[in-house]
Amino acid sequence: MKTIHRVVSRTRILLIAALSCLPFLVNAQSTDQDYRTPPLDIADIVDADPTPSVSVSPDKNWMLLMGRSGLPTIAELSQAELRIAGMRINPANNGTSRASYFNRLQLQDLSNSGTRTISGLPANPRIGSVSWSPDGEHIAFVLDRDSHIELWIADTATAEARKLVDAELNGIFGQAFSWFSDSERLLVKTVQGNRTEAPVKPQVPLGPIIQESSGRPAAARTYQDLMGDSHDENLFEYYGSSQLLIVSVDGSSEAVGEPDLIRQASIAPDQNYILVEAMHRPFSYLVPNYRFPRRIEVWNTQGDVVKLIADLPLAEEVPIGRGAVPIGPRSVAWRTDTDATVYWVEARDGGDPRADVEIRDVVLSLSAPFTAEPTQLIALGTRFNGARWGNSGLALISENWWSNRRTRTWMIAPDESGVAAQLLFDRSAEDRYSDPGTPLQAQNEFGKYSLLLSEDGESIYLTGQGASPEGDKPFLDRLNLDSKSSERLWQSEAPNYSSFISFLDDGHDSLLIRRESPTEPGNYFRLDNGMSGQLTALTSFPHPYPQLANVYKEVVRYQRDDGVMLTATLYLPPGATPEDGPFPMLMWAYPREYKDADSAGQMQGSPYRFNAISVNGPLPFLASGYAIFDGPTMPIIGEGEVEPNDVFVEQLVSSAAAAVDEVVRRGVAERDRIAVGGHSYGAFMTANLLAHSDLFIAGIARSGAYNRTLTPFGFQAEERTYWEAPDIYYQMSPFMHADMISEPILMIHGEADNNSGTFPLQSERFYNALKGHGAKTRLVMLPNESHGYRARESVMHTLWEMNSWMNRYVKGE
């Protein structure tokens, strides 16, 4: 009787409350399209002050603290934007749109921890592209001034900043300046002087838009923001054209060469040459700008062309598949360890990963005065993946191959002919446990980054995540290049999670580390004399959301029905313990493909990391009383000749079932109160789980793709085209199974999504299909938002939508 009375009473109260609020509800319908704000506990997380970023000076005397403001407003995000050539351009300042900025700079003395705020900046500055001079005496950066971008410089001795040059910078291709080795000059890309007004789109079309195929395959993935007509071509030339300047730290400047459509320009270590990449017509309506025709040239500092490295054609006809590359020189750059030597890579398989050849790539180099024939440094059996230069007798060249996930690193002697390459590492890129780490680099006498060698020159240093069955434990090793044996110099230890940042002395005895714990945000420490030495705190950043400081966290290991080990991180609401369960739960995941089951089952993450909360992730809902099962691994494994996606649905459902079984077994969740969600490929996952299982009570899918026939030339890790594997494309598409989804699904999508494949149309069509079959669904299109959501109003509204959806269908409120 008590139970019945309680139900009747609650029903009566709800009915009276509903009747009394009818006028409000009617009025609310008229404002249903307005931005909404989630409960205060969640909103406070959005508005928490971000932790500053840091950067250490090359001389190790200073640490720069770079403060960040909160999220931009929707008004800022709604400013004019050009979407052409695969880019998003701010026409007001000739830079990239949607850029992120710092709003304050502070210098910290690493010898005594004293701090000084950099003065001379305007109120509410928007600071970007921060870069130390090689000698550490100056810091260059840009200021966004609404109508243009300015180059500024700060003196570390005085902590004073000033504008360096009146010329306006051209920032549409990224950082618009770089330092010369002497720390006295910078190479700067500026807007072409005295240019006319931007081209105006004709009201009357000049003619039809025509594209024609040559008859050769020219397959392309579903790129966004491409050119659409001749007006776009004119705009691209207008905003992309730059004049190079050499600017001294005293503010004087001189022009270098003629204005051109310069995508990149870099200075040789000896400061006598400039490597320039300039695009030219014909442009393409099929591929982004980085595949446009371009000349790669070596100039002297007067702007004269010394050497044409290549004049590359339009790259529309690149083969299909991971590892496909254009023909001709690519990855063209300066060697960082010597005066003036250019290196590049050329494919020997036509750029086609399906070609059956012994040699796929060769690495070539050419030294000043650039009159000789290029020298071949190494031939690679798979695809080039990077170079790290040390000296005339040492460079590390890496290669990898996607289809078998193999990666190799070779030691070569770049200036010593006849010395055979030595294999240093040969491993599976999926095997986190065997990762030897990444070679450390440091600025050399040219101010360029090259391999950091031990004092005797016989060893290099490696740093890595230190993945293990107990979790990630970052490390620092010294590797002897003769014996190939490693010595562990430092490693993170429980109950903290620490990561190596930099050496602070020439003898490599003092370390800068970043240390955190589940309840303490990352702060920076000086560690002297190795692991047992003195630890000195350098920063004391506060907890950004102290109301969530006492959140329970546990890294959970469990098993799928085929024996594969899975990992997730369990979070419980503030103050709660597992004994207080069960809780309403949100699982938030993202599937990944593997070729090896053992690697797929390796432990990921660490129980000692700070409980950092991304406003675009699932953790804000801890404040609403939800348990979060974050990142439950969803491995899709295809060993041998089997492709992972051949068993996508079966393995996805099996992984999800194992996760549900585990949280129910632990007593932290109930089967009928678990929602599943994800972003991008995680949204695709969510829709598939609702279509092919009854594991979840509701779903949240953000910025996803649901019909794979709209991405017919491959997607995610799928290399086959639709015409090669139509059944796979059909079975993996939730759109094709919309009639099988009965659980409520909330879909959110940025209406300006620029991610390849996740067109907003994907969510719109899927919503129509679901609605047509009577599913409970809601579609939210966020104005002016891209693949990730940035505006404060958009983020707040997204959290409100998700919280309301889960309260309705998970809690049953």
Q: Which residues are catalytic?
A: 680, 753, 787
Give the sign of the dihedral formed by CA 799, CA 803, CA 804, CA 809: positive
β-strands 669-679, 698-702: how paired?
Answer: parallel
CA gyration radius, the chain: 28
Of 714, 464, 712, 435, which Cα lies nearest the Cα of 599? 435
Grouping H, G, I as helix, E, B as strand and the rest as coil, residue 685 is helix
Q: Are 623 and 574 in contact, with CB atoms under 8 Å apart?
A: yes
CA 182, CA 179: separation in Å to the nearest integer? 8
Side by side, which strands form the sheet with 383-391?
Answer: 383-391, 394-401, 406-412, 422-428
With beta carbons less than 8 A apart as the criterion, state whether 770 and 738 touch: yes
Annotate 215-273 with DSSP letters as a single string.
Answer: SS-------SS---SHHHHHHHHHHH-EEEEEEETTS-EEEEEEEE-EEEEEE-TTSSE
Residue 672 CA to chain centroid, in angstroms?
35
* DSSP code per residue over 451-481: E-B-TTSSEEEEEE----TT----EEEEEET
What torsion, rounded to 10 degrees, do the Cα atoms 26, 30, 34, 38 define?
Answer: 10
DSSP H helix total and E strand total for the chain: 11, 47
Handedness of CA 608, 614, 616, 619 (dihedral sign): positive
Task: DSSP for 296-360, please give it.
Answer: EEEEETTS-EEEEEEEEPP---PPSSTT---SS-EEEEE-SSSSSEEEEEEESSTT-TTS--S--
How many CB atoms are located within 10 Å of the residue 119 CB? 11
CA-CA distance, 574 to 42, in Å (whole number)?
13
Instruction: Please give the helix or strand (H or E) that residue 45 lies within, else none.
Output: helix 40-46
Q: Bridge-partner residues for 53, per DSSP?
A: 66
Nearest-angstrom CA–CA distance, 98 and 251: 29
Dist CA 319 CA 316 (whole Å): 9
Residue 60, helix vs strand vs coil: coil
Question: CA-based angle 724:728:733, to the nearest 5?
Answer: 125
Beta-ladder partners of 367? 341
The single-letter DSSP state of residue 740 is: G
Surface-to-core class of residue 141, CB atoms within 10 Å of its CB (0-12 exposed, 13-18 middle, 19+ buried): buried
Contact 430, 413 (CB under 8 A): no
Q: What is the DSSP letter of 658?
A: H
Report the distance separating Cα 529 and Cα 508, nearest Å. Answer: 9
Cβ proximity of 637 and 598 under 8 Å: no
Quick check: 458 and 439 in contact, CB under 8 A?
Answer: no
